Amino acid sequence: MEKKCKPEDIGLKSFFLGPQSENAIWFQSSVSQLLVRWFEWRQGRQVEDGRAISPKDQASPEFQKQRKITTDILADLSKRFEEEVPKYSPRYAGHMFSEVALPAMLGHIAALLHNPNTISGESARVGVQIENEAIEELLKMIGYSPSEGTGHFTSGGTVANFEAVVRARGRMALWMAGGAALAELNGSIPDPCRDAVVGWQAFDRVILELSQRDPAWESRLDSWNFEKTGFHHFASCLNDVFGVSIDHPVMLVPSHKHYSWQKAARLFGFGDETMKLIHLDARGRMDVGHLNARIQQAKNHDHPVMMVVSVSGTTELGVVDPIGDVASTLRQAGFIWHHVDAAYGGFLATLTKDVYPEMSDELQAGLASISASDSVTIDPHKLGYVPYSAGVFMVAQKRNYCLRSIEAPYIQYSGLDRGPMTLEGSRSGTGVAATWMVAKTMGLTPNGFGRVLARNMHARRLLEQELSKAKMPAHIVQTTDSNVLCFVMAREGEPLSVVNTRTKAMHEKLSQPDSRFIVSTTTIDWQHYGALCERFAGSWGASCDVHEIVLIRMCLMNPFFMSKETAIFYPEAFVHEIDSLAMSAG
Ligand SMILES: Cc1ncc(COP(=O)(O)O)c(C=O)c1O
């Protein structure tokens, strides 16, 4: 095997520390420079104030005693962290994180030193600007217009998804209020399900008419806005005033949804019933025909459709939904809020056929269609190689972002400030600066970040080939949209229960503190993945004595997993390990 790295890949090696801390000296000196600058910044300001801690203080026994306590406890903490999950290692391929990029780490540390709270310019003079610039880079990456779109950093994908629900709900409440308020004025009958998806242009006409005819139009509008009055009050007023009935709003989400959507349904007070699941096809992607049926069903049962979610990079299998088909289906049903949960797969938008020639047309079209959605979640702390916590929520149009703002009397806000619009209050600038550094150094383009991700995609393909050499046959879930690889080891005709027991035993062995490789596991069932489960179990002629399949799940993100220069070739070594574990598990 050729031991050399391609010249164009050598530059990528500067972005990561390396499994043996190969770039330690450069990183250490960069951190040290950051510290020196920070010290000098403080020392250079108000020199005339004089020192508060003297060398004599520092030499005193009390001072020395306290300092020793901190030194000892820090050493203890540092030692304890040596038991932490070694996520940096090419032997780690469990969940959606890996080695963190050095530029990201440096950005994180730089921000940590200045500790900006991006709630407002008052507490983050520079932080809010960096956030603006980082958001602009991410808007461009997914194809939203940087002048029309906006967004902000969150603590992660869960909160970013909540941000979408808040806005979809707010917009729907406003549009329905407009319809009801005008009908009240006109003595006509509103159609709340149609009003829920009426679109800004039509809504603006409603507001124009309202404002021309009623000087108190704003309070009339507010009295019909269920965000202010509560949904039950709105529904009973519709019934009392117009004899119109309406049922609770629905959120249409694919069966492979992340569990944050269920949290959202409960948190925002509509209950689990709000969330209607859309079936998946045999490849685990959203079934757009069923989405259509769900929209019709909602209409027939007086449920306004609050939003539709599609996913780029599903949590379990890494699948990308047919986002373009979802967008065109929605266009026929009015202006339904379309959110793309690209918490994992947002950065895949940097892939093109130039850097990843094996990319399917379908995947390319799906990723390109993210730009047609209303809003998106992207987690730099997943495929962006940024340290925790860094999630992002973005909208394609500012109008959908600034639907409501709540200001605090003790904070002075100015132009760039997002504080009044975000669900979270204080927000750290670390994820912002880390993502900004990744964008500025690696570049959120095919030739920059795209090449790192293309390596991951190749790693997946290569591991598939290696798995085909195992003695115990490996059966891979055939979803090639991303670098998530899920499989089982099974002999022809083995019942599912036997295979599941084996997979659990293998995973147990591969999650020990001293295990040579670390993977994760997930379970797919007939209720959510019926067509896929059927097809997958059929691939080894399994008898389906249980109705779920336990899978070994790997997120192949480590940039050195395919290294040709290490003494070990990880894909081969992994297959050797998994094969012997499968054999010994029976
Ligand atoms: C598709 C998807 N959405 C949302 C999330 C939630 O992200 P976080 O854990 O950062 O809150 C995840 C996490 O894995 C995810 O895979």
CA dihedral 131, 559, 456, 526 (to 10 degrees): -80
Query: Shortest CA distance to 529 belongs to which of 325, 278, 345, 158?
Result: 278
**Which helix H or strand E contains 489, and what residues bound it?**
strand 484-489
Query: Shortest CA distance to 462 belongs to which of 574, 350, 383, 539?
Result: 574
Which protein residue's CA is at the shortest distance from atom 8 of ligand 1? 157
Give the pLDDT score at 7: 76
**310 touches ligand 1 (CB under 6 Å):** no
d(CA 471, CA 3): 27
Give the pLDDT score at 554: 97
> Which tokens in the block code for residue 151?
């967004």
Which protein residue's CA is at the shortest distance from atom 16 of ligand 1? 315
d(CA 421, CA 12): 37
Give the pLDDT score at 419: 87
In the chain, DSSP finds a helix count (H) and a strand count (E) of 22, 11
> Which tokens in the block code for residue 374?
């209303």
Nearest atom, ligand 1, residue 345 CA: 1
**261 touches ligand 1 (CB under 6 Å):** no
Q: How far is the CA of 90 from the centre of ligand 1 (A)?
A: 22
At 454-476, the pLDDT tens digits run 999 999 999 999 999 999 999 99
Query: Shortest CA distance to 142 belongs to which of 339, 280, 386?
Result: 339
Q: Find all residues with CB under 8 Å of 568, minimum gap 6, and list them.
A: none
Pick from 162, 320, 375, 382 the residue to mutate for probing ligand 1's pocket: most ligand atoms within 8 Å of its CB: 382
> Which tokens in the block code for residue 507?
């995973």
**344 touches ligand 1 (CB under 6 Å):** yes
Give the pLDDT score at 413: 75
Task: Report residue 36: phi and psi, to 5°.
Answer: -60, -45
Q: How far is the CA of 258 from the centre of ligand 1 (A)?
A: 6
Q: How far is the CA of 96 from the centre of ligand 1 (A)?
A: 9
Query: Within 10 Å of residue 75's Cβ, how many Cβ atoms?
Result: 10
The verdict on whether omega for the bond into residue 580 sits within 30 degrees of 0, i.e. cis, is no
Q: Which residues of the chain have pLDDT under 70?
A: 1-4, 416
Q: What is the pTM of this model?
A: 0.96
- Name the 3-class secondary structure at 235: helix
Q: How far is the CA of 545 from the centre of ligand 1 (A)?
A: 32
Q: How far is the CA of 61 from the centre of ligand 1 (A)?
A: 50
Give the pLDDT score at 4: 66
At 347-370, the pLDDT tens digits run 999 999 999 999 999 999 999 999
Give the pLDDT score at 369: 97
**318 touches ligand 1 (CB under 6 Å):** no
d(CA 541, CA 493): 5
Q: How far is the CA of 110 from the centre of ligand 1 (A)?
A: 26
Buried b (16+ CB within 10 A) or exposed e, 562-586: bbeebeeebbebbbebbbebbeebe
Nearest atom, ligand 1, residue 315 CA: 16
Query: Shortest CA distance to 339 belongs to which of 262, 418, 395?
Result: 395
